[in-house]
Every structure is written in C-alpha cells, then in structure tokens.
Amino acid sequence: MMTIKSREIRNFGKVGDALPIPNLIAIQVESYKRFLQADVPPEKRTPTGLEGLLREVFPISSYDENIVLNYKDYELGKPRYTPDECRQLRLTYGMPLRIACSLHRKDKDEITEERIYLGEIPIMIGGGEFIINGAERVIVSQLHRSPGVDFIKETLEADRPLHACRIIPERGSWIEINITRRDVMAVRIDQSGKIPATCFLRAMDHAYGTDEQIIRAFYQTKVVRTSALKPDMYVVSDVWPDGDVADRGEPLVRAGCQIGDAVGRIQATSLKQLEVIEHVADPLILNTLAEDSCHSHEDALMKIYKALRPGNPAQLDKAVKLFHEKFYDENRYRLGRVGRFRINRKFGLSLPTSFNTLTTADFVACLRYLLDLRSQERVGFSIPKRVPFELCVLKWTRELCEQIAAYQVRGNKPKDPKEGVVLGELDAIRDGRKKLAPADVLKELLRQVRSINDAPGEWVPTATINLDVMRPLLGLLA
C-alpha cells in the first residue's frame, strides 16, 4: 500500500507577536502598593510613601513648644461597602485611615496616646482603577522632570555656545548657573537677580571665602621668583607696594588679574617670590572674580540676603539664617534620593543617597563641569524626563501642617475629627477627568510626551484626585 507523505503547511495570513504585551498598568499598581505598604507590619515599614510622609511631618509642636504631637504608626481598616455597592450608591470605594499618636504636655509631664481617624484612603481594584463617586477612574502616568543637575547649551552668540546649568531639587529653590556674553559665570536663585557664581561659592563655605582660595581651587598655581615674572602671568593674591599696611592704598595688581606692565614695579619691591598662574586655558573664573565685589564669607552672605530680600535691612545673623534655611534645612531644601543619585553619578561623588542637601563639593563640581564643557572635553546633555513617584509631597505636607497648626487640646487628648478633620474624604477628579478607557491609555501617554512643558515652575498634573486636605495623595502614583 502506498503511503502519502505529509506536507508542511505554512499559513501566511497570520503574523505572530514579536514581543509579549507587557502589563500596561503595572506602574500604577506597584507604585500604589509601595505607597500604602498595607501588607507590611507597622514595625517593618520603610520610610517611603505614606509612612515617609507621616514621619516627615511629625513631630509637631505648638508655638511655645509646650505641646508635642508624636506619630507612631498607622493602620488601614476594612471598607464599609463593596465595589458593587459603591457603584450603585455612587460612593467612593475606600478604607479608613487611622494613626496612633501620643500627645506630650511638657508643663504637666503627661503623655496621652490615642488612635485618630484621619479620613478615607481609596482602594485600587483589580484593573488598577478606583471607584470615585460610583464611577471608575484611572490614574494616568505623568512625565516629570527629575531632580538633580542638568547642563544645556542656552543660546548661540556669534557661533559661540553659552552653557548653563540648573540644580533642580525635589523641594526648594532652583539654582541656575549661566555664562553671560561677557564670559562671567552668574547664579540666579529662583527668580532673583543675578549674582556672581564666586559670591555664592563664598557663602557656602569659609574655605572659599577669599580670592586666593578660589583661584587655587580652579587653577594650577606656581611660585616663581620675581625676576622671572612675565606680563602674561596672573597673580594669585593682591600685590602691595612696600610700606605700612595702613598706608598701602591701591594694590599694584589685584588677585586674579594679569601682571601686564606692573612687572617692573613688582620687581622693585622687597618681594622675592610670587605665586602666579602661568597658563590660563579659560579665564572664566578670573572674569567672575573681577565682577565679584565680595571678598569674604560674610560679605557674600550679606549680598545674597540683599538679593533675596530686597528692601530689608541686611544683618549678618539674618543672612546666615536665611542661607541655612534656603539650602541646608531638609524641610525647606531637599534633593531627594533621585537628585542625590544623579549628582553622584554625574560627578563621581560618593555621598549617601540619604544626604539630601546641597554641598560645596556639588557646586564646585558644577563649575568645573561648565569649564570642561567650554573646552569641549565633555558633551552637554538635554534635560531628561521620568515618571514621578513623589510629585506632590510638599503641597500635601503644607496643607497637613496648616490643619494640625489649628489643633486644639481638649481633655488632654487629641480631639475628634468631627471637630477638626485633618484629612478630608475623597472628592471627584477636578481637572482632566479620566473615565476608565484602556484603549486611550497609550494615546494619552503619547500626548503627554509631545506636550510636556520644560519651562521652570510648578508642575501641575493633568489627572489628579482631589482631597479636602490630602489632594495630591494619588498624584504620588507613578
């Protein structure tokens, strides 16, 4: 019997999937899990998400510091209604949030502990959506400029690039470093006027208070005999004529200036040696020093205070306090873990990610990197973008502090939320309401990529859930 050989059949009418389809809502789901840490015991929760926010706000003291409200932990209760009941009754599907607090009265040496109800936390159901007033809503991932340091080519003037640098914190004032057309490095704090970059460097550290210290930090100096001086050399410190210090008058050559025709006058003095810069590849720092009228750490602090508080009488103690609050207080200025990581990676630093304030080494590294960009030793990068995890921490904290500032003590224990609710209940999405439409998720994301705003200023999400006090809560979702 003759057997029929089977033939291979190929179907050209179907095209297989080249790549598996990823979970498009994994970012929202995983981010919300990390935010709540609902399945983690209170003693094992990491200081991130809701736990990190509460630890950051507490303890809260009264103005006379006689009453202190401390935070211990929080617990999430069970929802009152089911998802189907919330859809039918047009309610919000959420669970109660309670925190354990202790109230310490120092005048009476009393400590009262109680668990306080704060409000309702929305629950994310299986598809990554929330039920808000009976309707299913979804949080759209937002594009956000990450904190850190960015270098850009600002403009082109006569075929010469003018580089700029922005130090963007997670919270606090922006620092912009620009190179002007006159080859001077200027710093702008937020929207204030420009000050020389060396002035800001002096204010950061006593080690950079004088012109000599700044010059030695950026240029290679050498001590030469006065008989070997050349007109094209730059002096490191002021060169004074012989005589009494009080009767010196004007120096022969100021620090950071070229010797020029003063060679003979310097050689006529009693100086035998002089510290100079033989070769200057880029006089940017020297030009900035020439524009800087400050000559000490205290002068720089006073000048920055006048720039930030114009019209107020300048006092040294106020200037020191303002500068410290502006850049060294973590409650007012904070780079964040991402900002510190990007700065460390950019400049090869080894500071821990928990170090959230700006350091002198960070600022000096920014200035040196700008010098390298001008000499074309490195390539500037455009501003990157990322999906945020903590977009609205500052606004949330500010509103929570305002509520607790109005806190009244009755019966030596925290009052009931009916008398003063700290956190309100969930409200509808006010701006850019998003109905659950999975087919439009990619379209919305592409729209945001094309329309993201790179201008400085406060970033406003296009899909935020409104709370009476904790409005930006769900804006923390990536």
Rounded mean pLDDT of 466-476?
A: 37
pLDDT of residue 404: 55
DSSP labels, 344-381: HHHHT----TT--S--HHHHHHHHHHHHHHHTTSS---
Q: Dihedral of the CA atoms 164, 168, 172, 178 (nearest 10)?
A: 0
154-169 pLDDT, tens digit per residue, is 766 566 778 899 999 9
pLDDT over threshold 70, residue 377:
no
Region of poorest pLDDT, from 32-36, 65-69, 213-217, 249-253: 249-253
At residue 299, φ and ψ (nearest 5 deg) are -60, -40
The residue that leads in pLDDT, 160 or 440, is 160
Rounded mean pLDDT of 178-182?
A: 89
54-97 pLDDT, tens digit per residue, is 888 888 888 888 888 899 999 999 999 999 999 999 999 999 99
pLDDT over threshold 80, residue 414:
no
Q: Does domain 148-209+288-374 fall into CATH 3.90.1110.10? A: yes
pLDDT of residue 406: 57
What percent of the chain has a predicted confidence (pLDDT) above 90? 36
pLDDT over threshold 60, residue 11:
yes
pLDDT over threshold 50, residue 367:
yes
* Residue 322 amino acid letter: L
Distance CA 214, CA 219 (A): 9
pLDDT of residue 245: 52
pLDDT of residue 160: 72
35-47 pLDDT, tens digit per residue, is 999 889 988 998 8
Query: What CATH number is given for 26-144+387-476 in this structure?
Result: 3.90.1100.10
Confidence bin at 390 (pLDDT 50/70/90):
very low
The answer for residues whose C-beta is within 8 angstroms of residue 120's C-beta and 6 or more apart is 92, 94, 95, 96, 97, 425, 426
15-19, 90-94, 256-260: which is most confident: 90-94
Rounded mean pLDDT of 105-110?
A: 81
Domain spans of the chain, in order of start = 26-144+387-476, 148-209+288-374, 220-279
pLDDT over threshold 50, residue 333:
yes
pLDDT of residue 444: 57
Closest to 300 measured CA to CA, from 276, 327, 277 = 327
| Segment (H or E) for 233 | none
pLDDT over threshold 70, residue 477:
no
117-149 pLDDT, tens digit per residue, is 988 999 998 888 999 999 999 887 777 778 999
Q: Does domain 220-279 fall into CATH 1.10.260.30? A: no
Confidence bin at 475 (pLDDT 50/70/90):
very low
pLDDT of residue 1: 54
Give the Cα-Cα-Cα angle 148, 151, 156 (nearest 5 degrees). 155
Q: How far is CA 272 from CA 149, 230, 243, 268, 330, in A?
A: 45, 15, 16, 10, 50
